[in-house]
Amino acid sequence: MTEHKLSDLPYEFNALEPYVDEQTMRLHHGKHHAAYVNNLNNALKDHPDLQNKSLEDLLKDINSVPESIRTVVRNNGGGHANHSLFWTIMKPNGGGEPKGDLVDAIKKKFGDFESFKKKFSEIAMGRFGSGWAWLVMHNGELEVYNTANQDSPLMEGKTPILGLDVWEHAYYLKYQNRRTEYVENWWNVVNWEQVQKNFTNAGKR
């Protein structure tokens, strides 16, 4: 049996202060993300064929998962994948603008970086209830959109490059109902080097 595992954060819990607070990071990673991993493993325990699939393959082929566990796998597998990406695309002293061919692709699709940032932020604000805002690669092109709950772009054949968690648990301790402020501040911790790597890898698929 291959169990899915919760990876350590690539930085300290307080590393993203003052934009993302330490208490939120501890709860978000150690409680919320950990619960997704545990629930996913529990759902798969009687399905050895699914246990041997990578998380990405599991989500890409979500409709082949038995109906009795599909919703649990969708929610918790998606939550595991989404958060595993989320931690890596943030870093202390992040922010600024991307470089290299990613910024060229952003300019080609959105006009300029500021227009992209505005569009992405609007998508994040426009998600009613819980969900995520995404920059994805789809059919060789960048696309910005949002998903509900813990749905992953992988379930739609899209490759996530950058994702922002807009569930209330991601920001409520610090920002309460001020999602706009959370979204604005989050740009200060984006790890553009990792986002560039994600973009490069997506282009190789």
In CATH, what number is assigned to the domain containing residue 65? 1.10.287.990
Residue 12 lies in a domain: no
Residue 11 lies in a domain: no
Residue 13 lies in a domain: no
Of 48, 63, 88, at which residue does a domain stop?
88
Burial code of 132-154, b = ≥16 C-beta within 10 A, e = fewer?
bbbbbbeeeebebbbbeebbbbb
Give residue 2's pLDDT.
74
Residue 148 and residue 105 in one domain: yes
Residue 31 lies in a domain: yes
Residue 143 lies in a domain: yes
Residue 116 and residue 190 in one domain: yes
**Residue numbers of the chain with a pLDDT score lower than 50:** none
Give residue 205's pLDDT.
67
Give residue 162's pLDDT.
98
With beta carbons less than 8 A apart as the criterion, state whether 194 and 88 touch: yes
Integer Cα distance of 187 and 195 in angstroms: 13
Integer Cα distance of 149 and 157 in angstroms: 17
Of 88, 111, 137, at which residue does a domain stop?
88
How far apart, in Å, are the Cα atoms of 53 and each of 9, 66, 165?
24, 14, 25
Integer Cα distance of 35 and 76 in angstroms: 8
Range of the domain at 73: 22-88
Residue 180 and residue 128 in one domain: yes
Residue 57 lies in a domain: yes
Integer Cα distance of 167 and 130 in angstroms: 4
Give the neighbor-by-neighbor strand order of the sheet with 131-138: 141-148, 131-138, 159-165
156: domain CATH number is 3.55.40.20
In total, how many domains does the chain have? Answer: 2
Residue 2 lies in a domain: no
Tens digit of each residue's pLDDT (9 = 90 or more) over 22-77:
999 999 999 999 999 999 999 999 999 999 899 999 999 999 999 999 999 999 99
Q: What angle do CA 82, 117, 109 make, to 5 degrees?
A: 90
Return the number of other C-beta atoms located less than 10 Å from residue 93's C-beta: 10
Residue 166 and residue 137 in one domain: yes
Tell me, yes or no, if the pTM score tops 0.75: yes
Integer Cα distance of 140 and 185 in angstroms: 30
Dihedral angle at the C-alpha atoms of 14, 28, 127, 187, nearest 10 degrees? Answer: 20
Strand bridging mode 131-138 / 141-148: antiparallel
